[in-house]
Amino acid sequence: MRKTMTLSIILAAALGCSALALAGPGGQDFGGGPGFHGGHGHHGGGMMLLKGVNLTDAQKASIKQIVQQSFTQLKPQFEAVRQQRQAFEALSPSASGYQAAAASLAQAEANLTSARVTARAAVTAQIYNNVLTSTQQSQVTANKAAFEARKAQWQQFKASHPASSSTSSTPGQ
């Protein structure tokens, strides 16, 4: 259980989440404190690299504005996919349009993922190029290198300590 939980935490941190998560309430604390996750329960993804960069209040406000603007632009697409997903989940597998609805939802999810990744890259580039000083950019680069080193160390640890097989008995067997 502990290995699974630790692995889940590491994977969540390694994969990161959208910088758009900052657009929620209280998303102005870029140091990783309360409100950093914007109420979405994620770890902040690329924005965690800003921890320790000593942003000014003006920089924090600028970053928040950039992120909120991007989130606002994607919000209708998020909402449309959510509604499409709900409609699909309400269908019975025996319904005549079930497979077509599944294919349509899959395409909508793919389009949303593409838009989200592209928006995240645009937000990151805008923050990096237009908000951060050259000293802060160097700190972000160092933070990223340190993160990658920790990730490699974790991968090495996992390789040398394979998880035990799932032979635990389940109730009723």
Instruction: Tell me the per-residue pLDDT of 12-65, one tens digit each, with 9 for 90 and over.
Output: 443 343 333 433 434 434 443 333 334 343 444 566 778 878 899 999 999 999
CA distance linking residue 62 with residue 46, whole number of Å: 16
| CA–CA distances in Å: residue 128 to residues 9, 51, 57, 94 | 27, 14, 16, 50
Identify the pLDDT of residue 47: 67
CA distance linking residue 142 with residue 127, whole number of Å: 16
Identify the pLDDT of residue 23: 38
Give the mean pLDDT of 107-129: 95
Closest by alpha carbon to 57, among 29, 34, 24? Answer: 29
Task: For the chain, give the mean pLDDT.
Answer: 76
Give the mean pLDDT of 62-69: 94
pLDDT value at 11 more than 70:
no
Q: Give residue 103's identity as a one-letter amino acid code.
A: A
Identify the pLDDT of residue 41: 37
Residues ≥6 apart with Cβ < 8 Å to 59: 131, 132
Q: How far apart are the first and last CA of the chain?
A: 20
Residues ≥6 apart with Cβ < 8 Å to 87: 101
Backbone angles phi, psi at 35, to 5 degrees: 90, -10
pLDDT in tens, 119-149: 999 999 999 999 999 999 999 888 889 989 9
The torsion region of residue 39 among left (phi > 0), alpha (psi -120 to 50) and beta comes to: left
